[in-house]
Amino acid sequence: MVPLSWYLILAAALFCIGVFGALARRNAVGILMGIELMLNAVNINLVAFWRHIGPDQMTGQLFAIFVITVAAAEAAVGLALIIAIYRQRNTVNVEEIDMMKG
Amino acid sequence: MSEQASSFPAVFNLTPILPFLPLAAFALIVLWANRSKKLSAALALGGIGLAWVIGWAITFTTFGMERLGEAPFRLFKDWFPAGGVWQAFGFQIDPLSAAMLFMVPFVCFLIFVYAVGYMGVGKPEHEHDVPGQPATSGYVDRLASRFFAYIALFAAGMLGFILADNWVLAFIFWEIMGLCSYLLIGFWFARKYANPTQITPKEAGLKAFLTTRVGDTIMLAGFLLLFAQTGQISFNALLSPATLEQLASATIRLPIVGPTPWATLIAILIFFGAIGKSAQFPLHVWLPDAMEGPTPVSALIHAATMVSAGVYLIIRLFPLMAAVEHGAALRFIAFIGAFTALFSATIAVAQTDIKKVLAYSTISQLGFMFAALGMGAYIAATFHLLIHSFFKALLFLGSGSVIHGMEHGHHAAEHLHSPAQAHAHEVSALARQTHTAETSPREEHGFDPQDMRNMGGLFSRMPRTAWTFIIGGLALSGFPFVTAGFWSKDEILADAWGHGHFFIFLVLAVAALLTAFYTGRQIMMTFFGRPRTEAAFHASEHDSVFAWMTVPLMVLAVFAIAGGWVGIPESFPGLGALSSNPFHHYIAGLAEALHIEVAAPAFSAIPLLTSLVVALGGLFLGWKVYGDYAARGRSDLADPLAGPLGRLYPILLNKYYFDELYHKVFIRGTQRLANWLFRVDDHWLIDPIVDGVGQFARRLAQLSHRFDFRIVDGVVNGIGAAADWFGGALRVIQTGKAQNYLLVGLVAVSVLLGAFLLLPK
Amino acid sequence: MQQAIFIILALLTLGAALMTVITRNLLRAALWLVATFFGIAAIFILLRAEFLAVAQILVYVGAISTLIIFAIMLSRGIMDPDQVRFNGQWGVVGGFAALLFVVLAVIVTRVPWPAAAGGAPVGDAPADAIARLGAAFVGPYAIPFEVASVLLVVAMIGAIIIARERE
């Protein structure tokens, strides 16, 4: 059997790769992909905990499904935003998108 | 919802919906009703009105209950698990919150009614008015719906705060109030002044928010330590003797100070939140500038309710503050309170803006309450808190009415001087032609309707406002026997004397003298003598908006007088025989349950005589010094105080030179550091973090210009600088780019987790 | 045996994930992302969460990846091969992301997980896991389930409104 900590380390690595993608990519779509990786890392954690700590309760899997749902909603809205911004500014380079600047 | 005891009348079960009534009004206005200003105002009034009716129903039910203090009504539900224990969230009614429930929704309701008139609901919109600027006199504010939404949200925050039975919920509502304060101070966000050094509403809102945030952050640290020590969030559990005993006996070794009981440390940290919220020294600087908000906001948030939330929090947690016998916490509270009371009373003496005088007076009166708490005068502080809310709301609303009247008068005066349009319209309609939309009344032609030097002789022109304002002023100065302010202030002085705090007694007596003096000065300058300007000459209160505005004034005036009669000490000669001092007994039930010593001190003639002398003497001095000034009716006269005070006068006028001192000592240093960092960054490093720091420091320097707090001396400066840097770390990379912000989060998380690993357990 | 499979799957998944974030061409990055999703689905199967593995493929590979690829193709110039991949802070981000990984890995290995000592799970996965999942969704988790569906509808409407061409 694979120990729990292996899964957790895999998830941590995936999460950190996702963080890197979300924070270092210039392209908004690239950032979105990074975020998807982070969410998947979380799912691995949830399922691994379910399997190893409480397989009788389905909470872990349930939460993973909710995460997938939220991720789908997030991707749809995020990509819609990207397309809208692309139309308006003709770029999806986030360094040029600084409308939050006070 | 589960209850602790089912022996309470059914009306108590309505407690949890109280905060949600105005919250529902807020949601409805924002989501649905905002197109119609009348509907928005009606919703806000309806929400708070219903809360008021239910609140009073609950409060009056509690009056007959003997044992409410020992067994308060609690309604709660499991909320979240912390470790193995479920934390409950809920609301509670005990004598303290019931007393607040008497005041808060009622005052809120009156101020909402006033706001209907103040915002000009029902009047037409002026097509040249810019959203985010005050409306032209005689027209409705374009954003009036938003205003009612905000104040409804605020009322929800305040009601929730007073009823919350645990600190997490209380903190949530506390922050909702902070947010509303920010939104409402900056309500006229588009307003600009001709004088660039004058603080705009937008900047004032930011200043208020950031300054109180300093206190709130320290307070949150205190609460978290409290949770770490006890594992409890409900006030009930935290204030139990066993918990307090444990907090008072366990010590922590602090640098410099040495071993300190946890109770003392936590109490002082939490008190900082109250310092910020209640604008005590050294975080007092935001409140005077908060007067940039609309006047109902000044009355509601910055006089009657939110600023007193800090006092209420300390009253609520008083057993924790007093857990260590003769501990440092209470002494600290007493010191800060007494110092602030005197300090800001001296500033109020020289102010010329009618609202600024009241703002400094509010700071001073809150200082009285903290001083009372610091001396252990639990009931006196509560009493003064309630009474002060009534008369200070009255004074602020009165000042708003005066300002409105002055604006009307100003337009009328302009009307007379432009013959082309003479007598064509009514006074209010005339404004349409003579007023340009780009400027707001305050900067136009340099005329300031809030400056008391422009007033005078308003008594005969605005009689309803004048009478009620004078009643409020007399209550503030503690006019003997008749006004409520006399009884509440006298009780604090009597407690100070009776319990042997002679120094505090002296300081508070001087502050009370100054209070009476500046109140007398304000009344003389505003209402008596001859008008000093055309605007004052033509001021009136005949417009329809004044119907909405003066009715709340009259109601509040009744309370500013009669409110004090419930707290007349039984030992008072003559009148005491008639009184059973119901307020004392009402709160004492709770105090005894919490093991707080509240025995009223034996009657002594000295504090009574002092109260009489300072109140009457101050008013007499105000009349003596300013009577002649008022009678001459010229606006170019120097303030009669300027001569006798000599060099002290400009110091008071400039609020002890906070801005200037700060500029010299602190801003220059920051600028130099910023320039140096910027050069370091420009020449040697491309690293984005360093880039961010450089930019931040430059921005900080700009921002710092606006922040005049943490001055006075080197020590405070040092603390201020550290606080600024610390708070600044959150603003490190103000680039507007989300990725930069997130990087800060990543750095923080990885460094903190690393520290968690490396540090010894 | 399982451990060897896990290591191979993990390496493949991580490699694909790494390629996703460093590939210059966005379309290729999206394809690497699909590979990553497949790897994660395989991990789920290893964890005996078959339903989730299928959902993973359906939702992520079937829907989200398609959406991403469409978005890439809808915005011209987005695939410009000469564009700069990273922003100015990528070095710092890389450093701290690596630090975060090290810290998390150390924490994970240090925590005494209930099952980590023997390596084996406390109990075997129930045979009727999928049935239980379904029952949970219509039983105790009915309200969150409904809220999630509302969320999806809201997101769909919102996405249409945001991306709609304005005149």
Q: Give the DSSP letter string of chain A.
A: ---HHHHHHHHHHHHHHHHHHHHHBSBHHHHHHHHHHHHHHHHHHHHHHHHHH-TTS-HHHHHHHHHHHHHHHHHHHHHHHHHHHHHHHS--BGGG--TT--
Determine the pLDDT at residue B703.
63
Q: Are B315 and B379 in contact (CB under 8 A)?
A: no
Higher per-residue confidence, B702 vs C114: C114
For residue range B381-406, what is the model confidence (pLDDT) as tens digits?
Answer: 999 999 999 999 999 999 988 888 88
**At what angle are helices B545-562 and B378-417 packed, to 10 degrees?**
150
What are the residues facing B251 on neighbouring strands?
B261
Which of B105-114, B409-418, B490-499 is the least confident region? Answer: B409-418
Q: Which of A27-31, A82-86, C115-119 has the lowest mean pLDDT?
A: C115-119
Q: What confidence tens digit (pLDDT) does each residue in B617-663 have?
A: 888 888 888 887 877 777 677 777 777 777 777 777 777 776 566 55
pLDDT of residue C154: 92
Name the pLDDT band for B760 (thresholds 50, 70, 90).
Answer: low
Which residue from A23, A98, A99 is facing B743, i.e. has the nearest CB? Answer: A23
C chain contacts of residue B757, beta-carbon cutoff 8 Å: 103, 106-107
Asked if the C-beta of A23 comes within 8 angstroms of chain C's C-beta atoms, the answer is yes
Taking an 8 Å cut-off on Cβ atoms, the answer to whether A100 and B739 are in contact is no
Selected residue of A15, A16, A89, A98 to mutate for chain B interface (largest B Cβ count, 10 A) = A98
**Cα dihedral: B671, B672, B678, B683 (round 10):** 160
pLDDT of C115 strictly over 60 = no
C28 interfaces chain A, CB cutoff of 8 Å: no
CA distance linking residue B6 with residue B23, whole number of Å:
28
Contact B746/C at CB under 8 A: yes
Whether residue A97 lies within 8 A of chain B, CB to CB, comes out as: yes
Report the distance separating Cα C75 and Cα A99, nearest Å: 20
pLDDT, position B173: 93
Determine, for residues C43 and A55 on separate chains, whether the beta-carbon distance falls below 8 Å: no
Q: How far is B758 from chain C (nearest CA, A)?
A: 10
How crowded is residue C131: how many other Cβ atoms within 10 Å of its Cβ?
11
Kindly state whether B742 is in contact with chain A, defined as any CB-CB distance less than 8 angstroms: yes
Chain C nearest CA to B127, separation (Å): 28
Residue A16 clears pLDDT 70, i.e. is over it = yes
Give the CATH architecture of domain A4-89.
Orthogonal Bundle (1.10)
- The Cα of C31 is separated from the nearest Cα of chain B by a number of Å equal to 24
* A23: contact with B, CB 8 A cutoff: yes
**pLDDT over 70 (residue B697):** no
What distance lies between CA B459 and its chain's CA centroid? 28
Please state which of the ranges A27-36, A87-96, B156-165 shows the lowest mean pLDDT.
A87-96
Among B407-411, B595-599, B696-700, which stretch is predicted with the lowest mean pLDDT? Answer: B696-700
- C102's CB contacts (< 8 A; 6+ apart) are none
What SS3 class is residue B238? helix
Average pLDDT over residues B448-460: 83
- What is the maximum alpha-carbon separation in chain A? 54
Percent of chain B with pLDDT over 90: 26
The single-letter DSSP state of residue B251 is: E
Partner-chain contact C99 B749, CB within 8 Å:
no
CB < 8 Å to A102, chain B: 734, 736
C-alpha to C-alpha distance for B238 and B254, rounded to whole angstroms: 23
Give the domain ranges of chain A. Answer: 4-89
Phi/psi for B260 (5° steps) reads -130, 140
Q: C83 CB contacts (<8 Å, ≥6 apart)?
A: A26, A27, A93, C24
Cβ atoms of B397 and B295 closer than 8 Å: yes
The answer to whether C159 faces chain A, any CB pair under 8 Å, is: yes
What pLDDT score does B237 carry? 85
Q: Touching C: which chains, 3+ CB pairs < 8 A?
A: A, B
Q: At residue B704, does pLDDT exceed 60?
A: no
Q: What's B121-148 look like in SS3?
A: CCCCCCCCCCCCCCCCCCCCCCCHHHHH
Query: Using CA atoms in the order B134, B138, B141, B144, what is the torsion angle rounded to 10 degrees?
Result: 130
Neighbouring chains of A at 3+ CB pairs under 8 Å are B, C
Token pair in block for residue C6:
């896990």
ipTM: 0.89
DSSP B309-343: HHHHHHHHTHHHHTSSTT-HHHHHHHHHHHHHHHH
- Is B177 within 8 Å of B96 (Cβ atoms)? no
> In whole angstroms, what separates CA C77 from the centre of its chain?
27
Q: Which of B283-287, B517-521, B647-651, B691-695 reaches the highest mean pLDDT?
A: B517-521
> Given A25, A64, A72, which is nearest C63 (Cβ)?
A72
Yes or no, beta carbons of A99 and B736 under 8 Å apart: yes
The SS3 assignment for B305 reads: coil
Query: What is the chain A residue with the closest CA to B699?
Result: A102
pLDDT bucket at B722, cuts 50 / 70 / 90: low
Specify the length of chain B in residues. 761
pLDDT beyond 70 at B514: yes
Query: What's this model's pTM, rounded to 2 decimal places?
Result: 0.76
**Average pLDDT, stretch B580-595?**
80
Model pLDDT, residue B735: 54
Rounded to whole angstroms, the Cα distance separating B252 from B263 reads 10
pLDDT above 80 for C145 = yes
Number of residues written out for chain A: 102
pLDDT score for A85: 82
CB contacts of C133 in chain A (<8 Å) are 58, 61-62, 65
Are C89 and B740 an interchain contact pair (Cβ–Cβ within 8 Å)? Answer: yes
Quote the Cα angle for B345-B350-B351, to 5°.
95
Q: What's the rounded Cα separation, in Å, for the pair C121 and B228?
A: 33
Cross-chain residue pair B746–C107, CB shorter than 8 Å? no
User: To the nearest whole angstrom, how far is the Cα of B4 from the nearest Cα of chain C?
Assistant: 28
Q: Does A35 touch chain B (CB under 8 A)?
A: no
Res B155: pLDDT: 94
Nearest 5°: phi and psi at B449?
Answer: -70, -5
What mean pLDDT, rounded, does chain C reach? 84
Contact B689 C89 (CB under 8 A): yes
CA B735 to chain centre: 33
Angle at B384 between CA B380 and CA B386, to 5 degrees: 120
> In whole angstroms, how large is the CA radius of gyration of chain C?
20
Among the ranges given (A48-52, B175-179, C100-104), the one the predictor scored with the smallest mean pLDDT: A48-52
Closest residue of chain B to A25, computed from CA coordinates: B739
pLDDT of residue B444: 46
Q: Which chains touch B (3 or more CB pairs under 8 A)?
A: A, C
| Closest-CA distance of chain A to residue C64, Å | 6
Write out the two tokens for B679.
Answer: 């050069």
Cβ-defined contact of C92 to B689 (cutoff 8 Å): yes
Q: What are the pLDDT digits (tens) for A45-61? A: 999 988 888 777 788 88
On the question of pLDDT at B426 being above 50, the answer is no
Q: How far is A101 from chain C (nearest CA, A)?
A: 17
With residue C68 as reference, give the H or E element that holds it: helix C65-74
CA distance B189 to B202: 5
Q: Which residue has the higher pLDDT, A83 or B598?
A: A83
Would you state the pLDDT for residue C152? 92
Q: Is C92 on the interface with B (CB under 8 A)?
A: yes
Single out the residue of B352, B723, B404 nearest to residue B525, CA to CA: B352
**Is pLDDT at C85 greater than 80 in this prediction?**
no
Is the Cβ–Cβ distance between A51 and C125 less than 8 Å? yes
Residue of B nearest to A27 (CA): B739
Reply yes or no on whether the pLDDT at B708 is more than 60.
no
The per-residue pLDDT of chain B, averaged, comes to 81
What are the DSSP calls for B489-554, one per residue? HHHHHHHHHHTT-HHHHHHHHHHHHHHHHHHHHHHHHHHSS--SSHHHHH----STHHHHHHHHHH
Q: Which residues of A touch B737 (CB under 8 A)?
A: 94-95, 97-98, 100-101
